[in-house]
Structure 1
Amino acid sequence: MSFFRKLLKQRQQHSQEDAEMMDAMVMNTTMMMAHLDNSDEPQGRGSRPGRSPNHPRNRVSGGISLMADYFIERPIFRAEEFRRRYRMHTHLFNRIMTKLCNHDPYWHQRADATGLLGLLPQQKMTGALRMLAYGAAADQCAEICRMGESTTLECMKKFCQQVIHHFGGEYLRAPTETDLKRLLARADQRGFPGMIGSIDCMHWEWKNCPTGWHGAYSGRKGRPTIILEAVASHDTWVWHAFFGVPGAQNDINVLDQSPVFEGLIAGNTPTVMFYANGRRYSNAYYLADGIYPRYSTFVKTIPNPESQAQKLFTKKQEAYRKDVERCFGILQSRWAIIRHGARLHRSSTLKNIMIACIILHNMIVEDEFVEEEYVEPEEEDLLNPLAARVYDGPVDPQGVRIPFLPVERDGRNQHAFWDRIDHLESAYIHNLLQNDLVEHNWTLEANQQ
């Protein structure tokens, strides 16, 4: 019994010591809190005294004013002014806003913890578009959008990401068969059968490039830039965009990394059959400047034309190749953020901005560009061997080797893969096609006179 009595006595002593320790801790905490309450130094975080209060931006009244300016039935500013400031018509703006609101509650107007209503989706999208359209800094949009700098930046980044996600598959795609027929019909009228666009590169200056990356991104002009490779058609629609290569590289290095010919090499693209000077070809081509290699898919100008036929071809090639240059000019004029130096620090964010601007540009082109609707040719026109057309069946080889068979998944036709690469990089076919187009345009010019 003496053992259990001793054990019980020890437990009582420990309990008493724990209770005294707890009382001392409570007393010390109480004294510390009293000292903090009487202290003049700012303590704590959040909304406690000493922290900077939230700036009252009158979000609700600002949203009502913005709606009255642009988005009610009879707004203060006309539709022409909305188009100039937002770079698009109201119905296209509403289409984008509806898509974003249906898929992400971030764009909804919500109440905060105090019950105050937040920003309207029109305010958030206006802040994002003003940054893209005017190249404005985030804090420059506070007057019209009633948003802080960090909120405006967040809206712009989310807007670009979600435009790419929701609209990229439709508005930044390879040409479908219907698109190819329309492009080929236009190219035939211009004297370049089989041409589906022009290819070139554009540099975007990176003002806030990290210091350690300056060497890789600084090109001949000595300033850090990032390169965009694009393919554009006569209506300035961008069919291919590859962005992110450091500016110290040239157009050939960009082409080596670009996926522009992936579908052609894999055998997944439709075969385009056309005739030039009586010779049959099967691959569509792009107009390019002198730096690009002599591939069968490029038609370049003649540096020193001698005959009248060569001078005519050079004049027309250099004129039509300006389609992509004109597209770059429209992009930089419409979205000033890519005309001025980029102020953001992450290359991934800059890529989202560039691709989103191109997608929005294509959406505006589709909405506003007026062109004669493509009409399927009559049955007798299909017999015309000079008309370029999309061809999806086998052809007997004649002149140039055409067409290519797609690579099968089991690898049984792997030799066709290398045949396609050889055909793509053939300088002989490039020279042959160039000479045939010279004669083709000279014949057209003679027939028109």
Structure 2
Amino acid sequence: MSSSDEDSGAPTLNIFQKCTSVVRQLAYSANADQLDDFITQPTQEDVDRVTAKHLEVHGFPGMLGRIDCMHWPWRNCPTTWQGQYTCGDKGHPKIMIEVVASYDLWISHAYFGPAGSNNDINVLNESDLFGQLLEDRAHVVNFTANGEQFTKGYYLADGIYPEWSTLVKSFKCPMDPKTTKFKRYQEAARKDVEHAFGVLQGHFQILRHGARPLSINKIKRTMYTCVILHNMVVDYNGRAISPLDLELIPPDRPVRTWDEQVGIQLCMMG
């Protein structure tokens, strides 16, 4: 991205995307142009592929993923900030991350930084998840539900989220077989984001313990780095719904066993 693009107000790549590009160039001996598909926004073909897979697996047409939040304890939170970062039911300082995950455990959206005293609605209001939708730049997702045609996708959410058309929640008290079935399918599909949280913490033990840095920026860099590496592991193992069609990655690359992955992660963290 040139300086003229920045001056014109065109969106530029953030520091995490630039670092990811550098890591992949070092790993695959590629030039920067070969990695454009990984550091740019999803295309219409990517969205169509994801929604088609979710329809096949869970039976939800037009679904883009599951949204939820996770808390990361902050062990060395300064005393003056502990009241802000401590939630009543947690008892100790925490920082929140909002994530949208797909069936393949791919994390397509991550927003980290709100204090632990917030709830999921506060975090949603701060994040830019619906920024493109508000600017009418979101991808078109055509599907039919209950005889009505829709052109925008949606996310599955739990009961705390607001009553928005882009957030599909379950029924609190289903009264008939139809709503009971929907509640069972919606809650089963929503487990994918919880599965993604568990795999993310399983891959990186640092996320299972309290954050030690005193700086919020250092903690953010740690979390976003783990999310990026998590997605790279998902893609490397061939489980991604939208695999990267890169000629620089050999088609017959070996899939590492769980023991080998653990050994590599221990070397990275040690």
Q: TM (normalized to structure 2)?
A: 0.75
Aligned to 1:279: 148
TM-superposed deviation, 1:175: 3.0
Q: Deviations over 1:319-374 (max 9, x none)?
A: 00111111000001111111111111111000000001000000111110346889
RMSD: 2.5
Q: 1:329 and 1:372 mapped to 2: Cα distance?
A: 19
Change in Cα spacing, 1:293 to 1:355, as seen in structure 2 (3 Å) is same
Aligned to 1:253: 122
Q: Deviations over 1:281-334 (max 9, x none)?
A: 111000000000000100000011111111111000000011111100000111
For 1:313, the aligned partner's letter is: F
Q: 2:144 and 2:18 mapped to 1: Cα distance?
A: 43
Q: Deviations over 1:242-292 (max 9, x none)?
A: 000000010001011110000111111222111112210111000000000
- Could you tell me which runs of 5 or more consecutive residues in structure 1 were left unpaired when the two chains were aligned: 1-158, 375-449
Instruction: State which of 158, 162, 168 in structure 2 corresponds to 1:293.
Output: 162
Instruction: State which of 110, 113, 124 in structure 2 corresponds to 1:244.
Output: 113
Change in Cα spacing, 1:165 to 1:289, as seen in structure 2 (3 Å) is farther
For 1:330, the aligned partner's letter is: V
For 1:281, the aligned partner's letter is: F
Q: 1:173 and 1:243 mapped to 2: Cα distance?
A: 20
Aligned to 2:19: 162
Q: 1:204 and 1:346 mapped to 2: Cα distance?
A: 14
Q: Deviations over 1:143-184 (max 9, x none)?
A: xxxxxxxxxxxxxxxx99934876698657653212111111
SS at match of 1:320: helix
Instruction: State which of 68, 76, 82 in structure 2 corresponds to 1:214.
Output: 82
TM-superposed deviation, 1:198: 0.2
SS at match of 1:290: coil
Instruction: State which of 173, 176, 179 in structure 1 corresponds to 2:46.
Output: 179
* Contact 2:96-2:116 within 8 A present in 1 as well: yes
* Contact 1:204-1:225 within 8 A present in 2 as well: yes
Instruction: State which of 355, 366, 388 in structure 1 corresponds to 2:235.
Output: 366
Residues 1:195 and 2:52 are matched in the alignment: no
Between 250-259 and 361-370, the greater mean CA deviation after superposition: 361-370
For 1:176, the aligned partner's letter is: T
SS at match of 2:99: strand
Q: Deviations over 1:51-104 (max 9, x none)?
A: xxxxxxxxxxxxxxxxxxxxxxxxxxxxxxxxxxxxxxxxxxxxxxxxxxxxxx
- Could you tell me which runs of 5 or more consecutive residues in structure 2 were left unpaired when the two chains were aligned: 1-15, 25-34, 244-270
* Contact 1:344-1:350 within 8 A present in 2 as well: yes
| Structure exhibiting the larger radius of gyration computed from Cα positions | 1
* Contact 1:172-1:238 within 8 A present in 2 as well: no
* Contact 2:103-2:192 within 8 A present in 1 as well: yes
Q: 2:242 and 2:162 mapped to 1: Cα distance?
A: 35
Change in Cα spacing, 1:364 to 1:170, as seen in structure 2 (3 Å) is farther
* Contact 1:161-1:356 within 8 A present in 2 as well: no
Q: Identify, as 1 or 2, the structure richer in helix.
A: 1
* Contact 2:73-2:209 within 8 A present in 1 as well: yes
Aligned to 2:137: 268
SS at match of 1:314: helix
Q: Deviations over 1:192-239 (max 9, x none)?
A: 100010000000000001111101100121110000001000001001
Q: 2:23 and 2:83 mapped to 1: Cα distance?
A: 36
| 1:30-109 correspondence runs (5 A) | none
For 1:182, the aligned partner's letter is: R
* Sequence identity (%): 45
Q: 2:21 and 2:158 mapped to 1: Cα distance?
A: 30
Residues 1:304 and 2:173 are matched in the alignment: yes
- If asked which structure has higher relative contact order (CA below 8 Å, sep 6+), I would say 2
* Contact 2:46-2:242 within 8 A present in 1 as well: no
Q: Identify, as 1 or 2, the structure richer in strand.
A: 2
SS at match of 1:184: helix
* Contact 2:101-2:107 within 8 A present in 1 as well: yes
Q: 2:157 and 2:97 mapped to 1: Cα distance?
A: 15
SS at match of 1:245: strand
